Structure 1
Amino acid sequence: QSLRRILFGGTFHVFNYEWRKSFFQFREPDSELSYILEADRFQGGARAIQMVIQARIIKFLLFSQPGSTDRRTDQDKALAAALSDSLWLAGQEERATVTLVTEDYCITPHLDYKLDDFTEKLQLFTFDRKDDVWKFILDHIQCFKAEGSHGVILFLYSLICSRTVDMNSNTSHLLHLSLGNFVCRQLQALLNLLLTGRASPHVFNGTLPFGEDGQPLERPLQGVLSRSDVGYLHWSREQMERGGLPQVGSMLKTPRFPVWVCCINSSYSVLFSLNRSLLSDWRMEHQFQLFYCNGQNSQRSTARLTVDTHSHHWEAPPAEADPEKRFPSLEMTIRTKWDGAAIDWNGTDPFY
C-alpha cells in the first residue's frame, strides 16, 4: 500500500500496459549491438529508467568487467551490476532491497485496494553488502529480463524500498495519469536518484538558497551534491525556443566515467567514450570519439561521432527549412558539455 501511495497517491491505481510490458531485454548476444537494451518509444518513465541502466551497463562492460568469450553471461553480469549499483546508491551505500514476485499473496486486499496480481505477491530481500546484492540479482536475473516479468516495475519497487527517506518524505506522488498513460511527474528526481542516490529535483550543483529576485527562499532548492559514476546531459529545442535550458552542473556533466544519459527533446539515450582519460586529461578533449545509442529497433549500428574542440569552432550552417538539419539536437546536446565543438558524423546521416 505504501508503494502504491508513493507512486500514484493512492491504493486504487495500477500500472497500465505500457509499464507492465517493460523489462530489461538485450539485443541478440551474437550481434554488433549485443550490449544494448531494447527500449521502445514509450515516454512515460520506463524508457528513462532503462536508459540509465543502459549507461551503467556500458560503464561496467567498458571499465569494470574483464572481457570474456560468453556474451550472454556478460549481458547478465552487466545487467546485475547496473541494477545493484543503482540500488546500493539509493540505500546510501549501506543497504539495498530487492523485490521479487512470489507464488502466494502476501497481503489481504481491502475494498479500496485494486489488485494487479503481482504487487500483492511481492517479497522483499534486504542486504547490507553490495556484493550480496549483485550475486542475488544475478541469481534471479530472469525476474528482470524475461518477457512478462514486469522487470522495470520490479526494479522501480526495489529502488523505492531501498531509498525510503526521500520517497516517504515527499508529499507528491511520483506518477500521474496523462492521456491514458502513467508518466513521471518528478522524472528528474527519479533520474537523479538513479544517477546519484539522492532524489533531488534539480540538476545544478549544490543548493540554491536565493530566488531570481535575490531574496532568500523559504526552502532552498536542492541540486546535485556529488559527482556521479555516469553523467547527464540535457537539450530541448522547445525549451530553447521558450527561453532557456536547465543549467546542468559539473557534478552531472563531468562524471567519474565517460558515459552520459542524454535527455534530448524529452527522449532518452546514451553517449559514451572508450577513453576514461577523457574526463581527467584536458589534452584528450582536443579531438575525440563519442559513441551514441538510443535503444530503438531502428538503430542497427552504434553511431560514431568525432568531436573537435581545438582546431576550429563550430559555425552554424546556412539556413534550411528543417531546423533539425541545421542544428541536429544530438550535436547541440554535446555542445552543452563542449561549447563550440565541431562534430563529424563520419558518414552517418545526422539524427536526433
Structure 2
Amino acid sequence: MESQATVLPQISAACQLIWGGAYSTENEIGNIFEQWSQGFIFSDDCKSALIQEKGGPCAVIVPAQAYIIKHLLFDSEVELADVTDEQRQKALEQALQSILVNVSAGTVQIAKLSQQLGSTSSVEFHKHLTLETLNSSEIENHISSWTESWCSNFGVMSFLYSIVLTRGVENIVSDIGIMGDPSLVDNTFGHGNQSLLNLILTGAATPNVFDYTRSIDGMDLVGVTKKNDIGFLTLLEALRYCKVGDFLKCPEYPIWIIGSESHLSLLFSNDRSLCVNENSPFKVARAAFDTFDCEGNGFIPVTDLPNVLEKLDMVSEEDYVEFMKERLDPDSTGIILFPAFIEEFVPGAWEKQDQSLQNKQFVVHHYNGLRQSNFDSKVNYRLGAAAVYLEYNQVMEASTAPTPLLRVLRTKWPTIEIDWQSQPSIS
C-alpha cells in the first residue's frame, strides 16, 4: 500500500498535543517516539502481566494492566496463577474497551496503522495512521480486531492516539487549562504526565489529583470529580508537592497505580474492604476543608470559615460564624487547624476514622512492567504480606519510610508495613 499523501488533520493536532508543539508529523520525533514503539505484549513468565520494553509508555501500559487485573480478579473471578491465553486476551480486550468508554462522550475514534512498518520512523507512522469513527455502543463488536492490531508494533502508541482523539484535542486542552503541561508526554524523558493518566482513569485530562474544584488566587482549578474504578497514589504526596484526594485514594476496586518521579507501577489486592467509603462525615468535612487548604498545610485562614461552612451546607450567618471563630481560634492566631475543625463539626471522628483498617492484615501484589526492574528481567507479580497497625509513631512518617514504595503507601495507610515474600525487597 502506498503512503498517504498527507497526514489527517486530526492526527496532526493529536501529535502536537501528545509530543509538544515543537513536534509535527513532518519531522522525526526521535528517541522518545522509539521508546513508545511497542505493542501490548504479555510476559512469558506471568501470563496476565504486560511487558514494558523501555521507559516512557507506562502511562498507557500500567492503566491497561490495572483494568486487566480488575477484569480477571473481580469481573471473572479468575485466579491469576490459572489464567489461560484465551482469558488473558479477553481481559486485555475488556481493559482497552473500559478505557475507551471512560473517555468517550458517545463516539470513539479508533487509530490503527494501515500496514505494518519496518522502522520506527514517526513520519511514516503518522502517514499510515488511519481513523475509524463509530458509536460507543459498537465498541464491543469491534474490540477484538482492534486489540489484535494494538498488540503489534506501534500498538500502544496507536491506542494512545485513539484515547486522545476519542476525548477530542480541544476538550483535552480545556481539561488541562493554563496551569497544566502543554503536552501529554514529557519531551525529555518520554513519560506521560498526570493529565494523561487522569484522562485514562477519569475521562478528563485535568492535571490535578485533589477532589472537586479548588480556588487559588481567584482561579478555579478542577480536580477529580468522581470515584473511579482504579486508584492512584504518588511519591509526590509523600514529598509534600501535592495531596491526592479520596476519589483516587479510595477507588471502587483495591487497585492503585503507584507514581514515582518518572515511572508508574501497580499495587493490588483482592480485599474489597480496602476501598473505604469516601462519603463518611469525616471525609466530606475534610474535602470541604481541603478546598481552602490548597497546599495541604493542615490549616486555613480564619476568614475562610464562612466558605467552608457554606460548602458543608451549615449555618453561615454572621453571629454564628463569629462564635465559631472564637471557639476554633481562641488565641486569635488568624488560622484554624484541621484537628480542631474536625473535632468541632464531626465529634469523635478521629477515633472512628478507618477503624476497619486498624490492625488489619491483607495480601498485596506489586507489578512493574519494565524488564530491567524485575529479578532476572522476568516480569512477574511480587507478593507481599501487609499490615496496618493501630498505633502511629513518628518512625512511620511517610517521608522517612525506608523505601520509596512504602513512602507512597503511607500517604494512604500511615501505619502500613509490608513483608515482601521474595528477594530483593521492592524499593
Q: What band does the TM-score fall into relative to the shorter chain?
A: 0.7 to 0.9
TM-score by length of 2: 0.66
Alignment correspondent of 1:167: 172
1:81 aligned to 78, 81, 94, which one? 94
1:212-235: per-residue Cα shift (whole Å, max 9, x none)? xxx422xx1111111111000001
Question: How high is the sequence identity, in percent, across the aligned residues?
Answer: 26
| 1:311 Cα offset (Å) | 4.8
Q: Do 2:382 and 2:422's aligned partners in 1 also have CA atoms closer than 8 Å? A: no
| 1:39 Cα offset (Å) | 1.2
How many positions carry a matched residue from both structures?
A: 314
Report 1:184-223 matches (<5 A): 184=192, 187-210=193-216, 215-217=217-219, 220-223=220-223
| 1:119 Cα offset (Å) | 1.6
Alpha-carbon distance between aligned partners in 1 of 2:186 and 2:420, rounded to the nearest angstrom:
38
Structure 1: gaps (5+ residues): 105-113, 318-322
1:128-160: per-residue Cα shift (whole Å, max 9, x none)? 234x323412123221112xx201110111011
Q: Please state whether the residue corresponding to 2:187 is helix, strand or coil.
A: strand
| 1:168 Cα offset (Å) | 4.8
Q: Do 1:192 and 1:198's aligned partners in 2 also have CA atoms closer than 8 Å? A: yes
Alpha-carbon distance between aligned partners in 2 of 1:87 and 1:16, rounded to the nearest angstrom:
28
Q: Does 1:2 align with 2:13?
A: yes
Alignment correspondent of 1:101: 113
1:151 aligned to 142, 151, 155, which one? 155
Higher helix share: 2
Q: Does 1:227 align with 2:231?
A: no
Report 1:1-352 matches (<5 A): 1-7=12-18, 8-9=20-21, 10-11=23-24, 12-17=26-31, 18-28=34-44, 31=45, 33-42=46-55, 44=56, 46-65=57-76, 67=78, 71-92=84-105, 94-103=106-115, 116-130=123-137, 132-146=138-152, 149-164=153-168, 165-169=170-174, 172-175=182-185, 177-178=187-188, 182-184=190-192, 187-210=193-216, 215-217=217-219, 220-236=220-236, 240=239, 244-280=240-276, 285=357, 286-297=360-371, 298-299=374-375, 300=378, 301-313=380-392, 316=395, 327-346=402-421, 348-352=423-427
Q: Do 1:328 and 1:350's aligned partners in 2 also have CA atoms closer than 8 Å? A: no
**Rg larger for:** 2
Relative to structure 1, is the Cα distance of residues 313 and 135 closer, same or farther in structure 2, using a 3 angstrom cutoff? farther
Q: Please state whether the residue corresponding to 1:232 is helix, strand or coil.
A: strand
Letter in 1 for 2:274: L
Runs of 4+ in 1 over 6 A off after TM superposition: none
1:167-206: per-residue Cα shift (whole Å, max 9, x none)? 254673334532xx5454xx10000001100000110111
| 1:207 Cα offset (Å) | 0.9
Q: Do 2:236 and 2:242's aligned partners in 1 also have CA atoms closer than 8 Å? A: no
Relative to structure 1, is the Cα distance of residues 115 and 308 closer, same or farther in structure 2, using a 3 angstrom cutoff? closer
TM-score by length of 1: 0.79
Q: What is the root-mean-square deviation of aligned Cα atoms in Å? A: 2.9
